[in-house]
Amino acid sequence: MKTITTIEECRKILKEEIKTFPDWPEKGVNFKDVQSILFNPELALVTSHYLQELLPKKDSNSFLFNKILCFDARGFLFGFDLAKASNTPMILARKHGKLPGEVVTQTFEKEYGLDEIQVQAGLINPGDKVLIHDDLLATGGTAGAAAEIILKCGAEIAGFNFIMDLSFLPGRKVLQKYVHDSKIQALLKF
């Protein structure tokens, strides 16, 4: 792989490398798989770097969020890098029954069925500004559910950060009810 020195070069390589699996997990869904990024350590490093460049910042040394919420499981992969780079706590959003203790729950509709996410109670508090990270923005169901949990906890949604935005689906429009479009960042769009 050639040396990647700009965000545009990164986007070009990602579009070439990310594999699409038609009709998975069910007919009509074209699944975009991040495995090809993870299988190439150099590409994973560059992807992480440019995702960090998209983080909302006050200035070069401070960020416009104090916590980052990431989704099970693919959101964890780069979300942990983002949390470390911004020196902020990372909150795990997981499927029903995967977290111990008291939880905050939100049900939502995905592109292929009904689902539910949870976060441990007490991790998001009034006054927090929480950034939401996941690998993919499609219909906006998962990210919208996280936004609802943040609002239930009395906190503010600082924005959204994704590797991919499937711009032909309504996800961005769904998230615009929570934040201005400029706060919805994706490394690349399909």
Exactly one of 9, 17, 109, 111 is catalytic; which is it?
A: 111
Helices (H), the chain: 7-17, 35-38, 41-53, 74-86, 141-152, 171-175
DSSP 3: P
Tell me if residue 74 is catalytic.
Answer: yes
Exactly one of 74, 94, 148, 172 is catalytic; which is it?
A: 74
Residue at token pair 């905050």: 104
Tell me if residue 11 is catalytic.
Answer: no
* 19 sits in which H/E element: strand 19-22
Sign of the dihedral through C-alpha 177, 183, 187, 190: positive
Residues annotated as catalytic (active site), given as ranges: 74, 111
